[in-house]
């Protein structure tokens, strides 16, 4: 079964204690798509500028990622993020943001894409996310991401979105901002009151917390000795999570829990190199081996 993702495709310049990359392929939909492609075919919706290298598109296509929804805006430049990580690398310091073509991103789903049953709305304006949803006529299961900026500037639109999605993914700081609740369990419960069936609170190097009305799941991060670049870890997590669910075509609690584990493991691979480099030398069997190791680290 295919999986639809709508989000950003970027050229990132990133500096960490381990090195520097300039204009490397990035963006939420990119990391998500590659991560999900280990499990299921992906349909990517986004926008880039004329500067976007054709080689990137070909690389994504080679992963069974349908890029027919990745439009090129004439005369435009691709979204560019420049950031730096220091110390424990838990927080990105944004040095430059050039929205470029992303600033007017207004996606229209093709008839084929509009029929996709599993949908992930990567970080973007809630009004845009809702507009995509209204086009996804055959949607069965929708998960959205968001960020501080939208909580601050489009809270009502975000609330409206939350009444229309099955799940929300956000990080701990965002959960606290959205709910004005310090304790993450209580913050999660407050998110559930806003509509979604479940919420996943990402805690960076500390793993993730899943809450629904029925169950609480908690997953530590897979311990990584060589964190080279955390960029895209959260989107890779979401990609592994949604990719697995789409591949099994189920969203019961047991499947959601296994999906959390896959998301964790896929994210742990992504941070071991810049951009998509680690993914590009990773096959599915390595993910399954790491999943087995992960299970062994905490089963008792």
Which helix (H) or strand (E) segment holds residue 172: the answer is: helix 172-179
Instruction: State the minimum distance, in angstroms, from the CB of residue 210 to its own copies.
Output: 9
Q: Any idea which residue has 């990105």 for tokens?
A: 92
- Using CB under 8 A, pick the residue from 64, 115, 127, 217 that binds its own copies: 217
Q: Is the CB of 112 or the CB of 284 nearer to its own copies?
A: 284
In the window 50-79, what residues touch its own copies (CB under 8 A)? none
In sequence order, what are the beta bridge partners of 183?
A: none
- Using CB under 8 A, pick the residue from 59, 147, 192, 218 that binds its own copies: 218
Q: Is the CB of 158 or the CB of 219 nearer to its own copies?
A: 219
- Using CB under 8 A, pick the residue from 3, 48, 122, 227 that binds its own copies: 227
- For 21, 39, 47, 225, the CA distances from 248, given in Å and listed in that order, are 36, 9, 29, 31
Return the structure tokens found at 229: 């670049």
Q: Is the CB of 105 or the CB of 241 nearer to its own copies?
A: 241
In the window 134-193, what residues touch its own copies (CB under 8 A)? 182-186, 189
Q: Is the CB of 11 or the CB of 291 nearer to its own copies?
A: 291
CB distance 160 to 129 below 8 Å: no
Classify residue 224 by its DSSP letter: -
- Residues in contact with its own copies, counted by CB under 8 A, come to a total of 36
242 binds its own copies (CB under 8 A): no
18 CB burial (10 A radius; 0-12, 13-18, 19+): middle
């Amino acid at each position: 079964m295919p999986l639809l993702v709508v989000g950003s495709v970027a050229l990132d310049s990133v500096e960490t204690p381990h090195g520097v990359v300039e204009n490397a392929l990035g963006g939420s939909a990119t990391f998500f798509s590659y991560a999900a492609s280990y499990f299921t075919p992906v349909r990517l919706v986004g926008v880039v500028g004329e500067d976007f290298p054709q080689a990137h598109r070909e690389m994504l296509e080679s992963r069974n990622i349908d890029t027919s929804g990745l439009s090129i805006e004439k005369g435009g430049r691709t979204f560019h993020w420049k950031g730096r990580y220091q110390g424990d690398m838990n927080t990105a310091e944004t040095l430059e943001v050039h929205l470029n073509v992303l600033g007017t991103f207004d996606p229209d789903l093709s008839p084929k894409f509009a029929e996709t049953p599993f949908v992930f709305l990567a970080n973007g304006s809630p009004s845009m996310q809702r507009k995509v949803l209204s086009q996804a006529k055959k949607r069965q299961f929708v998960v959205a991401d968001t960020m501080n900026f939208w909580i601050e500037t489009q809270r009502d639109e975000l609330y409206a979105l939350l009444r229309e999605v099955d799940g929300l993914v956000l990080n701990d700081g965002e959960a606290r901002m959205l709910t004005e609740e310090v304790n993450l369990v209580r913050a999660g419960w407050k998110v559930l009151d806003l509509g979604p069936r479940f919420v996943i609170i990402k805690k960076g190097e500390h793993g993730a917390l899943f809450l629904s009305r029925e169950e609480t799941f908690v997953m530590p991060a897979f311990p990584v000795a060589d964190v080279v670049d955390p960029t895209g870890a959260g989107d890779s997590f979401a990609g592994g999570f949604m990719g697995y669910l789409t591949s099994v075509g189920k969203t019961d609690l047991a499947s959601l829990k296994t999906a959390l584990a896959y998301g964790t493991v896929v994210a742990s691979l992504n941070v071991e190199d810049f951009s998509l480099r680690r993914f590009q030398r990773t096959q599915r069997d390595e993910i399954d081996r790491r999943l087995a190791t992960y299970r062994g680290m905490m089963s008792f």
